[in-house]
Structure 1
Amino acid sequence: MRLITKMIVLAFSLLLCASSLSLADEKLAERRPLTVGLMPYLSTRTLLANYQPIAAALEDALKQPVQLLTAPDFDTFVRRVLDGEYDIALLAPHYARLAIKSYGYTPLLLHKSPIRGVLVSSRAQPLASFNDLRGQNIAIVDRSALLVIAGAITLGENGLTEGSDYHFIETVSHSSALHNAISGKARAALVSYSTLVLAAPELQRDALLWRDIASIPGQFYIAHSRVPPARQLAVKAALLAFEKTPEGQLFFEKTKHGGFREPTAEDYVLLDKMMPETRRLLGNTVR
């Protein structure tokens, strides 16, 4: 009887310790800065300035410092996400799906507006047809970007084969790809529509949107597993509350992201189809 009593007391003590550790972890998570990794699809200065309102809203709601971070290029950013360097990450949907399926991340929300892939040329050298791209270079950010995977399919459907009819040339950001097209280093750029909207005035002045060639789900917000579940829910609630504020409405009007929504089964079906190609193109970046 005494043995049973001792075992019950021991079990109860262990539960109390586990509960105390869990609460301690949550308190620690609240004290240190919440790191938010932003996919580098714009120049660093523009990217950090655009997402500062979200950082301010999270700080206010969570009562915790928030640090916006990015990376010099897509490959480095994806590697940092998969290595767990950010608490929260904002990234392209296929990278997010990979992080969710294989690296323990939790999906929070995604932007309502689909990511529009557009072909842009210099205003001085407009495109008239897909044949104008034959034998030319098309500036992109990264070959593993879902926008580029989908864009290559559309180009193929219009009679152009990568490697023989045209070549992709990689740059460090969508802004850089846009600059390549305008300056004549490439015949066109395959970028997101939001890049064009958020580009510097001089780039917008000299760029000409020819046509949409891809549409994919919006960027995902995902949380690393070290962020306690209650904290993940608090981040999600803060983002949804931000959407309803004047600052949030201004943010979504400026970025054309359309607000937030929950991921759907249909999103995952589409993204899972892209997983083999995503893994192949990322190569040694993924395990």
Structure 2
Amino acid sequence: MKLIILILSIFLFSNFCVAQENSIKIGIAPHSSTRIILQSHQDLRIFLQNYFKRPVQILTAKNFSEFTKRSNMGIYYDLILTSPNLAILAQRLGGYTPIMTYTKGLSTIILATNKDILKSKKLPLKVIGLDPVSFPTLDAQEWLDKKGFIDGDKVKYSYTSASDSSISILLNNNADMIILSLPNYNKLITKKNKDLVHVIYQSKPKLSRIYLAKDADGITLQEWEKALDAFSKSPEGKRHLEITKLEGFKKIKPEDLDNLDSIVAKTIERLYNK
């Protein structure tokens, strides 16, 4: 009996290891906490698992910088979902191809509990961003720079690992302003919280989060294009849009990312100290 149990255990463990080795790895940029990322992308995971008849893992990283360096190596993820500036680097350095994005553009939001915070005499103002290379952080900092709020002078930046954390920091009066993407603002700011905060800045919509893939691990780029197209038309895709509040999907071409040179240059500088 003990021998049978041992053999079964070895068999099940071997099957588990094979499944892990054969699994499709989806890398999601850490725009929210790991819990929220896993929850909001379960429909994507389940759809692709059924589509390819292979196990699918949702992976992220502790911050954007770590995630981006992994993406740029081109070996950690089969499919990537990330912000526009980081998508360009994944394309140039990791060999990925942009396939699909969302119809709802990515706007940057700066929030404060004091609507007149930019007139404050108590300087420097404490500003919380997601990560030095996150798209909303770079966009907001560019806007504040143009307003004369230079880092180390009138403002001091620090960073947190997730948008939901930064909202708590702001509401607990441990920051003067926080930086969010519009999707996270819509998703995380409750009706009760909305009465406690003020939008200091909202950018015009720019490209949203982008799906990228490559020929790897037995799946061609063309197969990824068909899979994502099928997901965009599926019930799982519809539920994903309802959860993320990103409205719809649309196809994208590499040349659609050609107008972000200044933010991409700043991203490279911060990532690699160049």
Letter in 2 for 1:111: Y
CA 1:267 to 1:180, structure 2 compared with 1: closer, same or farther past 3 Å? farther
Instruction: Please say if 1:147 is aligned against 2:136.
Output: yes
Instruction: Tell me whether 1:240 sits opposite 2:229 in the alignment.
Output: yes
SS of corresponding position for 2:126:
strand
From 213, 226, 229, the equivalent of 1:223 is 213
Residue from 244, 247, 258 that aligns with 1:258: 247
Q: Which of the residues 242, 246, 261 maps onto 1:272? A: 261
User: Between Structure 1 and Structure 2, how many residues are aligned?
Assistant: 253
Q: Could you tell me which of 70, 78, 88 is aligned with 1:87?
A: 78
Q: 1:58 to 1:281 in 2, by over 3 A?
A: same
TM-score scaled by length of structure 1? 0.78
Structure 2 matches for 1:43-122, cutoff 5 A?
Answer: 43-83=33-73, 84-121=75-112
SS state at 1:186 partner: coil
Question: Structure 2-normalised TM-score?
Answer: 0.81
Q: What letter corresponds to residue 169 of structure 2 in structure 1?
A: N
**Residue segments in structure 1 that go unaligned for 5+ positions in a row:** 1-27
User: Which of these residues, 180, 183, 203, is aligned with residue 191 of structure 1?
Assistant: 180
Quote the offset at 1:283 in angstroms: 1.6
Is the contact made by 1:113 and 1:257 (CA closer than 8 Å) also made in structure 2? yes
Change (3 A) 1:61 1:87: same
* Contact 1:130/1:158, CA 8 A, preserved across alignment: no
Please state how far the C-alpha of 1:245 moved relative to its aligned partner. Answer: 2.9
Cα distance between partner residues in 2 of 1:106 and 1:179? 36
Identity %: 24
Unaligned runs of 5+ in 2: 1-17
1:126–1:210 contact (8 Å) kept in structure 2: no
Instruction: Please give the alpha-carbon distance, in whole angstroms, between the structure 2 residues aligned to 1:247 and 1:88.
Output: 17
1-side partners of 2:91 and 2:53: how far apart?
A: 27
Any idea what SS the aligned residue of 1:159 has? coil
**When you count helix as a share of all residues, which structure comes out higher?**
1
Distance 1:264 1:236 in 2: 12
Q: Distance in 2 between matches of 1:280 and 1:203?
A: 39
Whole-angstrom distance in 2 between the partners of 1:116 and 1:236: 26
Please report the RMSD computed on the Cα atoms of aligned residues, expressed in angstroms: 2.7
Cα distance in 2 between the residues matched to 1:140 and 1:85: 26
The runs of at least 4 aligned residues of structure 1 exceeding 6 Å deviation read none
